Amino acid sequence: MEIHHIPPLRNPIMVMAFSGWNDAGEAATGALEHLLAAWHNEPNDVVPELIADIDSEEFYDFQVNRPHIFIDESHIRNISWPTTQIFGLALPTFERDLVIVKGAEPSMRWKSFTREILDLADDLEVSLIVTLGSLLADVPHTRPIGVSGSGAHPDIATRLGVEVSRYEGPTGILGIIADGCMRRGIDAVSLWAAIPHYASSSPSPKATLSLVNALEDFLDISIPSADLPEAADEWEKDVTEMAKEDSDVAEYVKALEDSKDAAELPDVSGDSIAKEFERYLRRRTKD
């Protein structure tokens, strides 16, 4: 890992996502891209500071994550290598700052990769790590995209107000990082958005918006939404038009809608209404 600059950060929270297996519809990495740009041009203009990046030679198979050639403003060809970058976001209007970790899921040496990330988290005195992911599921695109929050250990899950993770099966780098956090005694929470598997071929700004909103709720902060709600609406309209072109898909979507509505009807409680009202008030304050 190459350290570029360590900015002064106040009790920082580390938020991370990786492209690849953990990033259906590019929703999780899209949420990080939004975070990195969210406070630009706001009254308190926040520009991300590059803290460090990880040597790609150590962790990536370049036949899986191929480097890209690009031509710069001087018309000179350059190569962009797949890597992981760590940024600092100092947020003067909030009590805590953010550390953003974004990159491609590594191809090898996951234990060493996790150790480097968590060593830096310790050096920065990070007290909480939030990982973002997105997965394909049998859900309709016309309903709010659900985000589930979980912790790797029952004690952590209870203390942070999320479900304990009961997943068993193949995992990605996020699962390894969550395990590493638990072993080091670092609080860690994972937020996952569920994306319709029939609409996974393009980026899903609706799922990205759901992850951003879930992060707002969990951290109790306000994140400028910019044009993300409009992009989410446009994505939903495009998927609806696509579904109409295939009667089988249209019938399948209708069945998913009916199932979703029937399952959620009993869950319309005072707590859920209160949470939506709190989010509305936060948006009003932000605007």
- The domain segmentation of the chain, as residue ranges, is 2-286
DSSP designation for 23:
B
SS3 275: helix
Residue pair 26/19 in contact by the 8 Å Cβ criterion:
yes
Name the CATH topology of 2-286. Rossmann fold (3.40.50)
What is the mean pLDDT for each group of 10 consecutive residues in the chain (287 residues)?
Answer: 91 95 94 92 80 91 90 90 93 91 95 96 94 92 89 81 84 94 92 90 91 92 91 91 83 82 62 56 56
pLDDT (0 to 100) of residue 214: 93
Residue 191 tokens read as: 């937020």
Residue of 183, 124, 102, 119 whose CA lies nearest to 5: 124
C-alpha 175/C-alpha 157 separation (Å) is: 15
C-alpha 82/C-alpha 59 separation (Å) is: 10
- Tokens 């990046």, residue located: 53
